[in-house]
Amino acid sequence: MPTENELLSNVDALLEQVAQDDLPSPAERKRLREAAGLSQAQVAKALDTRREAVGNWEAGRTEPRPPQRAAYAKLLEKLAERFPAPANETPGDPAVPETFAAEPAPAVPAPSAPAAAKPAARPAASTTRPTSTSRRPDARKAASKKTTTAATVDPRFENGPLAVVDVDDDGQVLAYCVGGLVLDVPAKSLPSLVDWTLKESKLGAPKLSGPGKDADPLLVLTQAALERYGLPATLTEEERIAGRIPEGHKVIKQLTRSHWQLTKRGFGPWARIYRPAQGSERACVQLCIPSWNALDTRHWGAAGRLAPAELARVLGVYASRVMTPRGSTAVTGLELMTALHPATRASEPDADGKRHSEHNPGSLGKDPVDCAPCEAPDGHPLLKDLPRFHVRGPAEKLFEEAYDWARPMTDAECTLRHLVGIDVNMAFAAGSNGLNVGLGAPTHVMNPVFDPKLPGSWLVDLSHVDLSKVKVGKEWVELDGSLLPSPFTPKGERPEGPAWYATPTVAYAVELGYEVRPTEAWVRRENGRYLDGWYNRLRDAYLATMADLGVDADLTPEDFLPAMDGYKSRDPELAIVVSAVKATVKGGLGKLRERPRGESWRPGEPWRALSRPTWRPDIRAAVISRTRINLHRKLIKHAAFTGQYPVAIMSDCVVYAANGPSPLDFLPYREGKPLPGGFKLGINPGLVKHEGTQSVLWGEEVRERFNAPELNLARYIKDGTVTDVDNGE
């Protein structure tokens, strides 16, 4: 029979286990340590662990494991006895959320990221999805205004869309998933890692549309994981230029022996490892390797240098709100179009009850179509018969690009004190919203009657459009046309004769009150609003993430400007997501007209991108045309109402001279309401934010220093640093 002391020892062990299973919330752990005046380094030293580990416990990104867990639980228990929570505070309700649980983004901005789930010891363990909390800079904006409903988690992908694979100090391979989940990885080689991912990890994401495909799981390999699985930590210069490691690498041989294949791009920063699909079952895993420059710092900032848990959070938010990354932000932007509008769908059952693949209405189809000759970029096979050094002019080439325009300041503007820049939020995304674009091949028409609802390219003379007298709504207004850029050319110069334009540009000439008579056109009679779903998805991702950073869509102008001030510093990781979402918009549209990338290409020969149905320069031109026209419409409205004219425009940034340093010093708000059809402060796509303010003296001094009276000040208005000046260009 056990003694009384032995029984009491057993009970004490049970009580200790209960204490370990019921650790305080991450926020309470931090409060207790700070209340005791202890640093993370002191706690880490006492528990024989790293300071970063203590930080992760307090952030909720990871949970302590034995043997540190019992000691940590005892420390917190004793600190709680000495430093109880104030009566008006609820322990564990942090004001600033630390991690994000992967849930699909709602149509309205979602509250901020929720606290981390407890890590699971094995992938088969269930994952708890905690509810969201909210981040707001103004206490008056109550979190209760907007709530989220927990989305149903697909049991096939209950551990999220991706994982960051790392090796800890004990040599254990760990997979850091979204929501703070950490999985033990038993795989000893890369082929077994791929097998584990597909069979046990429960990683992946459901399809974005009915006829689409589920997203393949994404594994992000840290340098420690690369070393564990026999891959180089970085690429050599030769490998970097080639974009892959050599075909004879031992890891590629391991994959081949295990009957795994690589796509044509080979084993590079965004490798895809697969086996041919068996029926509807896919067997494919994508790898992302940050140390091989998979995450471009121009778009992902410092994401590639984040700790595994933080990187999983950043990529998890992006994957949940946009899609699982398929490569660069540009590649992902293009893939998102296809994921929302797959080329094919299953037909209705035939007489034998079988379904077949058929064209999915509203998509671009599965076969590429030729562009019109005027839409083809230089070097395209359609232009191979042109003389070798022939330069195409406006009457031969469609040239729809963003603004790069500036003018000298007037004497009256020089008496003002400030130059204030405003920037259109997600301008190109807004330009795609509701835009009718061609879905099929173009049809050539001579002397057509212009139809503003018909997508295409039109050869028309717009040199007669005079900006000194234009129609605004139903009324004619007189303006100083010399102070406005032409809406028809990127440089703002008035056209000198016939030129090719996309439909939105020609429609705007009609809107301004002028007659148009095209002499030739390439029109697309099969058309639709192909980009609407793409825009909605990216808009919601942008708004939800900005709301997490404390910038709501319903803020007043007076609240919006301070909310935008320093928003990136509130949560640098979510700020990375915002940058990536914006890069996805621009990059995705740029991919519609992708040029040759090496490939031993010679002018007149086809290049790889031409084989894609999503190689559509006409769609890119239409979006840019509409974006530029949207901006010019606001310039006209603003000038007609206030008598103020822009000094410079760079893409979606406009600079005005003003007496004060704030956009509110020149934007015509009346009783909190903006000018209808003009510039409006706000975070929604198409609205504007403050880009930067410099003095008028700064602008004149810069132009004089570089002897460039029309230097585009919009390019430098953000921080005043002037670089790359070449005769005003």
In order, the DSSP letters of 156-219 are GGTT-SEEEEEE-TTS-EEEEEGGG-EEE----SHHHHHHHHHHTS---B--SSTTS-PBPPEE
Query: For the chain, how many helices (H) and strands (E)?
Result: 21, 22
Neighbours of 175 (CB within 10 A): 27
CB 538 within 8 A of CB 585: yes
Find out whether the peptide bond into 498 is cis, omega within 30 degrees of 0: no
Backbone angles phi, psi at 693, to 5 degrees: -135, 135
Neighbours of 158 (CB within 10 A): 20
Q: What is the pLDDT of residue 279?
A: 65
| H/E run at residue 458 | strand 456-461
- Cα–Cα dist 265/258, whole Å: 19
- Counting Cα atoms < 13 Å in the Cβ hemisphere of 120 gives 19
Distance of CA 508 to the CA centre of its chain: 30
pLDDT digit string, tens, across residues 521-578? 999 999 999 999 999 999 999 999 999 999 999 999 999 999 999 999 999 999 999 9
Q: Which residues, other chains included, contact 25 with Cβ-Cβ below 8 Å and sequence gap of 6+?
A: 60, 91, 92, 93, 94, 115
All structural domains of the chain:
17-82 (1.10.260), 153-324 (no CATH)
Q: What is the pLDDT of residue 9?
A: 67
pLDDT < 50 positions in the chain: 89-151, 727-729
Q: What is the pLDDT of residue 68?
A: 84
- Cα–Cα dist 127/421, whole Å: 47
User: Rounded to a whole number, what is the distance in angstroms from the first to the last CA of the chain?
Assistant: 93
The Cα-based distances of 433 to 437, 539, 634, 698 in angstroms read 11, 10, 17, 37
Neighbours of 163 (CB within 10 A): 28
The Cα-based distances of 415 to 265, 406, 661, 712 in angstroms read 58, 18, 14, 19
CB 565 within 8 A of CB 529: no
- Cα–Cα dist 193/178, whole Å: 19
Considering only CA atoms, which of 693, 701, 620 is closest in space to residue 437? 620
By DSSP bridging, strand 218-221 and strand 162-167 are parallel
Q: Which residues, other chains included, contact 33 with Cβ-Cβ below 8 Å and sequence gap of 6+?
A: 39, 40, 43, 58, 79
- Ramachandran region of residue 179, left (φ > 0), alpha (ψ -120 to 50) or beta? left
CB 205 within 8 A of CB 260: no
Distance of CA 254 to the CA centre of its chain: 35
Residue in the structure block whose two tokens are 């890692």: 193
For residue 188, what are its two tokens? 């000893």
Residue 388 exposed, middle or buried by CB count within 10 Å (0-12, 13-18, 19+): exposed
Residue 137 exposed, middle or buried by CB count within 10 Å (0-12, 13-18, 19+): middle
Considering only CA atoms, which of 710, 504, 705 is closest in space to residue 618? 504
Give the gyration radius of the chain's Cα atoms. Answer: 29
For residue 293, what are its two tokens? 């420059």
- Cα–Cα dist 43/51, whole Å: 8
Q: What is the pLDDT of residue 81?
A: 84
CB 711 within 8 A of CB 700: no
Distance of CA 398 to the CA centre of its chain: 28
CB 35 within 8 A of CB 85: no
- Ramachandran region of residue 362, left (φ > 0), alpha (ψ -120 to 50) or beta? left
Q: What is the pLDDT of residue 543?
A: 97
| H/E run at residue 283 | strand 281-288
pTM of the model: 0.80
Q: Which residues, other chains included, contact 287 with Cβ-Cβ below 8 Å and sequence gap of 6+?
A: 218, 219, 220, 221, 270, 271, 272, 273
Q: What is the pLDDT of residue 635?
A: 97
